[in-house]
Chain A
Amino acid sequence: MTSLGSSSSSATEYTVRVPKNTSKKYNIMAFNAGDRVNCSSWTQARMERDMSARRIYGEEETQEGAAGSEFGKKQREEARRKKFGIVTREFKVEDQPWILKVNGKAGKRFKGQKKGGVTENASYYIFTQCPDGAFEAFPVHGWYNFTPLAKHRTLTAEEAEEEWGRRNKVVNHFSIMLQRRFREQERGEDEEDEGEKSGKKKKKSGGRGGDLRIHDLEDDLEMSSDDSDSSMGDDGESKTKAKKDTGKGKKKKKRKSNDEAIEDSDDGDYEGLEVDYMSDESSSDEEPEKGKPSKGEDLPKGIDEASESEEESEEEKQNEEEAKEEEEEEEGKKTPVQTEKKKKKDSSGESDSSDDSDIEGETASALFMKKRTPPKRAGGRGSAGSSRTGSRPGTPSIDSASTSNTLRAAASKLEQGKRQNQGPGTDSPAAKRLKMEPSSQSPAPSGKSTPQPPSGKSTPSSSDVQLTEEAVRRYLIRKPMTTKDLLKKFQTKRTGLSSEQTVNVLAQILKRLNPERKNVNDKMHFYLTE
């Protein structure tokens, strides 16, 4: 059409045409301003419909005929739906979203979702100017909002929920995705071995398949501090086998320590708890505690107990501690923290070292300070309920009985010496040691005899308390005890002997030892002097 040239008053006129027979359907592709999409920079683009919703509609395609099928099932199903008024929406191809891939494999990807209600009340037209100056108007059939798709790996909904539950504990967030890649890679490699035979490359599918697996992330989380340092800048796909092996090895190691039943602490467990006071020394206490058992004096009660337990490397000493602690429990002055911890440990058997190590690196709270008993504890870890010999990350918890007696003996001698030095020291009341005071008179004979009953509460589990002469000798050297006390030391559950046997054996041992006697509180106490 000829366009009129400039007419009066500097107005230019152009004809507007609405072509009738156009075979093309026009749509709008809208991007978000923040995405800064520059269409002119695209070299190549591919677009297709996203048909993933079709599965949902076509899922009734169960196997026809043969096993499992009923005659006329389809019709019956349809009739049933009609009766209940269930209307299934048709799968319309035009309403499906678009997938736009720009610049090939390495480029961006967009998903274009159809915006509804665009053509209901008003019509949109695209006006283009033709070479002859006239305008052509094309109606817009659909409006699609294109959003960029993330190319980096993301967590699935389940994984995200798990991580959310751990948000207070996890400090190193980089490790979260790292762990995921580890897992995927392992799975991918497993499948690759199979896939190699079939000649297919299954790595990718293995990785994707891993999305839905349920696993215990606690293992992985513990590795966070170790892994992150070593493998920070690593590309997950290209991890070397060595690394993978170390990863696996670490995992196994961690898993060992996780083998015992550990009660998971839920998110809000520690929130309302009261503590004496919080100190910043917690997380770094691992090392110093190793070498300074005497440090316990000035620290709050939690550490006091820890240090007291430090002094005793052997079970019997730990038993004493337990007795004391239980005594305190009875007195009802325990903070909820400790009670809870106690309960946890009592129920979980061996130390929840892993749990500790899990937490210790993260939150610096004195709640967990008392767990930090030094690793030389290792020797004496055999005892069952003595949970406070806690946290040694990285070392699998010692399976008790197997710990060499020599180690224990050596440690015990060490401790013995120290204990006698610190005997008076620990007695000195620190600021908040009130609770300890009744029990801190432990050297005094009377203190020990009374709270014997609670020791019965200590949890029996794997233990190697042997009713030996050596053991009895040790007890008696430390302090005078009645026969009753001795018996309680060697509980039937722990030694595996029946009560009659225990009595007999104990009697024999005492005959052999021939300890000295002393009458305290009208009770006959035995003791030995070295």
Chain B
Amino acid sequence: MTDKTEVNLSGVKQSKGVWLVKVPKYLSQQWDKATEKGEVGKISFGKKQGKTEVCFSLNEELTVLDAVGEKDASLQVPRDHPFTMHTVGGQTMAAFSQSDTDEISLEGMVVHRAECRPVVSDNYMKLKKLQIKESTKSPRLSQQLERAITTVFKPVANHNFNVLHDKKKKLEGKMVRAERQVVLDMLFSAFEKHQYYNIKDLVDITKQPVTYLKEIMKEIGTYNNKGAHKSTWELKPEYRHYQSAEEEVPTA
């Protein structure tokens, strides 16, 4: 991302001109259905009364529209689409492409803009109607059910999760007080990693009963009532030596 990609300017050098064509969504959807070769239709240039007329006609096989939930053979995407051509006007536009390997190349300058319009027919109108219906459908739907749902949320004597939890607790048993020194070592190593700890977290780490732990902590640490790190324990100054993640612990 930080490397600057050299832009391949060959397209512009050769003065390749491209067209920027605005295509309706349904047409581009049909194009996506094209075969491997990618042929989608034909474009023809004709001259009528001195004016150049450009028209695109869709291939036959692509005119079939897969309507949602209906096999509507009658609904077909219109075939003929004349292009409305515009000049680029004042705006300078170029097309650049970015490959998978993050290579950027300037493909060419836009020389014409065009809009692809369908020939308006009844068929087209039906198609549009369908489109509108679909778009006005709200994504959320309220529906009345005939029967109550009984497959989920059945009343249970004790939830599975709770049962497992209790078992686990029983296995562990009550927390046993370990040797003072052992606990101290555990605490110091924990405080090496972080400066502030919640008592609950300490209990978790050391697996010691709360009262015992508090006793030990009172010896070597202080409790923060206010400040940024509220209700947390930290080591007393003489015990800590924070220096870029290194800590020395004086012997108690």
* B and A form one assembly: yes
Contact of A28 with B93 at beta-carbon distance under 8 Å, contacts A1-B39, A15-B39, A128-B107 already known: yes
Which applies to chain A's interface (DSSP): helix, strand, loop or mixed? strand
- CB-CB under 8 A from A4, the residues of chain B are 42
Q: B154-171 CB contact bits vs A (8 Å, 1 = yes)? A: 000000000000000000
Q: Distance in Å from the Cβ of B174 to the closest Cβ of chain A? A: 24
- CB-CB under 8 A from B23, the residues of chain A are 122-125
Q: Which of A381-407 contact B (CB under 8 A)?
A: none
Q: Distance in Å from the Cβ of A228 to the closest Cβ of chain B? A: 39
Q: Are A33 and B89 in contact (CB-based, < 8 A)? A: yes
Q: Are A11 and B91 in contact (CB-based, < 8 A)? A: no
Which residue of chain B has its CB nearest to the CB of A13? B44
Q: How far is the CA of A101 from the CA of B107 in the complex (A)?
A: 17
Q: Does A149 contact B (CB under 8 A)?
A: no
Q: Are A72 and B201 in contact (CB-based, < 8 A)? A: yes
Q: Are B39 and A16 in contact (CB-based, < 8 A)? A: yes
Q: Which of A24-54 contact B (CB under 8 A)?
A: 24-35, 37-40, 42-49, 51
Q: Are A12 and B99 in contact (CB-based, < 8 A)? A: no
Q: How far is the CA of A26 from the CA of B19 in the complex (A)?
A: 13
Q: Distance in Å from the Cβ of A114 to the closest Cβ of chain B? A: 13
Which residue of chain A has its CB nearest to the CB of B114? A127
Q: Does A200 contact B (CB under 8 A)?
A: no
Q: Does A139 contact B (CB under 8 A)?
A: yes
Q: Distance in Å from the Cβ of A483 to the closest Cβ of chain B? A: 68
- CB-CB under 8 A from B25, the residues of chain A are 121-123
Q: Are B28 and A123 in contact (CB-based, < 8 A)? A: yes
Which of B7, B15, B243 gathers the greatest number of chain A CB atoms within 10 Å?
A: B7
Q: How far is the CA of A71 from the CA of B190 in the complex (A)?
A: 9
Q: Which of B1-55 contact A (CB under 8 A)?
A: 1-7, 9, 12-13, 15-16, 18-25, 28, 31, 34, 36-47
Q: Which of B190-207 contact A (CB under 8 A)?
A: 190, 192-198, 201
Contact of A45 with B7 at beta-carbon distance under 8 Å, contacts A30-B91, A66-B244, A70-B232 already known: yes
Contact of A23 with B100 at beta-carbon distance under 8 Å, contacts A31-B91, A71-B194, A71-B197 already known: yes
Q: Are A18 and B45 in contact (CB-based, < 8 A)? A: no
The residue that B31 contacts in the complex, of A18, A25, A40, with Cβ under 8 A, is A18
Q: Does B84 contact A (CB under 8 A)?
A: no
Which residue of chain B has its CB nearest to the CB of A38? B92
Q: Distance in Å from the Cβ of A193 to the closest Cβ of chain B? A: 29
Q: Are A16 and B42 in contact (CB-based, < 8 A)? A: yes
Q: How far is the CA of A136 from the CA of B107 in the complex (A)?
A: 13
Q: Does A106 contact B (CB under 8 A)?
A: no
Q: Which of B171-198 contact A (CB under 8 A)?
A: 190, 192-198
Q: Distance in Å from the Cβ of B37 to the closest Cβ of chain A? A: 7
Q: Does A421 contact B (CB under 8 A)?
A: no
Q: Are A65 and B194 in contact (CB-based, < 8 A)? A: yes
Contact of A29 with B95 at beta-carbon distance under 8 Å, contacts A40-B13, A48-B2 already known: yes
Q: Does A93 contact B (CB under 8 A)?
A: yes
Q: Are A39 and B92 in contact (CB-based, < 8 A)? A: yes
The residue that B34 contacts in the complex, of A10, A18, A49, A124, with Cβ under 8 A, is A18
Q: Are A42 and B5 in contact (CB-based, < 8 A)? A: no
Q: Are B28 and A17 in contact (CB-based, < 8 A)? A: no
Q: How far is the CA of A32 from the CA of B98 in the complex (A)?
A: 22
Q: Does A69 contact B (CB under 8 A)?
A: yes
Q: Are B46 and A10 in contact (CB-based, < 8 A)? A: yes
Q: Are A1 and B37 in contact (CB-based, < 8 A)? A: yes
- CB-CB under 8 A from A521, the residues of chain B are none
The residue that A126 contacts in the complex, of B13, B99, B107, with Cβ under 8 A, is B107
Q: Are B20 and A29 in contact (CB-based, < 8 A)? A: no
- CB-CB under 8 A from B104, the residues of chain A are 47
Which residue of chain A has its CB nearest to the CB of B242? A67
The residue that A13 contacts in the complex, of B43, B96, B245, with Cβ under 8 A, is B43
Q: How far is the CA of A68 from the CA of B99 in the complex (A)?
A: 45
Q: Which of B31-84 contact A (CB under 8 A)?
A: 31, 34, 36-47, 56
Contact of A49 with B18 at beta-carbon distance under 8 Å, contacts A39-B12, A70-B194, A70-B197 already known: no
Q: Are A20 and B20 in contact (CB-based, < 8 A)? A: no
Q: Are A46 and B47 in contact (CB-based, < 8 A)? A: no
Q: Which of B208-252 contact A (CB under 8 A)?
A: 229, 232, 242-247
Q: Does B97 contact A (CB under 8 A)?
A: yes
Q: Are A17 and B39 in contact (CB-based, < 8 A)? A: yes
Q: Does A137 contact B (CB under 8 A)?
A: yes
Q: Does B94 contact A (CB under 8 A)?
A: yes
Q: Does A198 contact B (CB under 8 A)?
A: no
Q: Are A128 and B16 in contact (CB-based, < 8 A)? A: yes
Q: Does B127 contact A (CB under 8 A)?
A: no
Q: Are A15 and B42 in contact (CB-based, < 8 A)? A: yes
Q: Does A9 contact B (CB under 8 A)?
A: yes
- CB-CB under 8 A from A29, the residues of chain B are 93-96, 106
- CB-CB under 8 A from A71, the residues of chain B are 190, 193-194, 196-198, 201
Q: Are A65 and B21 in contact (CB-based, < 8 A)? A: no
Q: How far is the CA of A66 from the CA of B192 in the complex (A)?
A: 6
Interface contacts beyond A24-B98, A39-B94: sample of 18 additional A-B pairs, CB < 8 Å, sorted by A = A14-B45, A15-B39, A24-B100, A24-B105, A29-B95, A33-B91, A39-B9, A42-B12, A44-B9, A47-B96, A66-B244, A68-B195, A71-B194, A123-B22, A123-B23, A125-B20, A137-B31, A140-B20
Which residues of B are at the interface with A, using a C-beta cutoff of 8 A?
A: 1-7, 9, 12-13, 15-16, 18-25, 28, 31, 34, 36-47, 56, 89-100, 104-110, 114, 190, 192-198, 201, 229, 232, 242-247
